[in-house]
Amino acid sequence: MAEVVVFHHGHGLTSGVREFAEQLRRAGHTIHAPDLYEGRVFGTPEEGAGYAESAGFDTITARGTAAEGLPAELVYVGFSLGVLPAQMLAQTRPGARGALLFEACVPISEFGGAWPEGVPVQIHGMDADPFFAGEGDADAARVLVETATDAELFLYPGEGHLFTDSSLPSHDEKAARQVGRRVLGFLDRIT
């Protein structure tokens, strides 16, 4: 089974993110879910982004270094804002077993210019999500998939951002179930 670190999105460590982590735990994986907001949960993405901005994105990303006390052989999972620490660690921390990036993807040049050889990655987003599709994340994901040896991009029909979080109005149950099956398959494949 895999050891997995789950980084939450801009709302904070919501019950939906906790539920996702619990789904992986029930499948037998060891899960760590650091709270990048130190207990704060926000009702809107704007409030969460405002907090992240005031705290500093470097500070939020640095809080993701909680993985430093864990074994090197981790799978990094990030939801939207949480993709920043997840992708950074997958690209820069030796020993990464894989990465799962939800609703965001940073250009690989941001963290060194190349995706590490032998680190599989899946990226999931909605094809009309104004953040993922409209702000360049989908393009960054396509570049990653074209240049990495084991990378997949899954696009789901719809415009919901954070569609995988069951505690938010943007949740898309059908797409989230499909994501869940693909994620469990990914984890089974790499362990």
Q: Between these two residues, 160 and 113, which has the higher pLDDT value?
A: 160
Q: How far is CA 26 from CA 35, 42, 100, 109, in A?
A: 21, 27, 18, 35
Interval 81-134: pLDDT, tens: 899 889 999 999 999 999 999 999 999 999 988 999 999 999 999 999 999 999
> What's the pLDDT score for residue 65?
65
**Amino acid symbol at 82:** G
How is residue 75 annotated by DSSP? E
| Domain range 3-190, CATH class | alpha beta
Contact 155, 138 (CB under 8 A): yes
Q: Name the percent of the chain lying above pLDDT 70.
A: 97
Contact 167, 19 (CB under 8 A): yes
Q: Average pLDDT of 42-69?
A: 78
Interval 51-64: pLDDT, tens: 888 888 777 767 76
Q: Where are the domains of the chain?
A: 3-190
Res. 46 pLDDT band, cuts 50 70 90: confident
Mean pLDDT over all residues of the chain?
Answer: 92
> What's the pLDDT score for residue 56?
81
Tell me the whole-structure pTM to 2 decimals.
Answer: 0.94
pLDDT above 70: residue 179: yes
pLDDT above 90: residue 159: yes
State the Cα–Cα distance between residues 55 and 127, nearest whole angstrom. 30
Q: How far is CA 178 from CA 49, 142, 155, 163, in A?
A: 28, 20, 11, 11
Interval 4-35: pLDDT, tens: 999 999 999 999 999 999 999 999 999 999 98
State the Cα–Cα distance between residues 78 and 81, nearest whole angstrom. 7
Residue 39's region, left for phi above 0, alpha for psi from -120 to 50, else beta, is left
Task: State both tokens at 61.
Answer: 């990303």
If DSSP states are collapsed to H, E and C, what string results for 6-67?
EECECCECCHHHHHHHHHHHHCCCEEECCCCCCCCECCCHHHHHHHHHHHCHHHHHHHHHHH
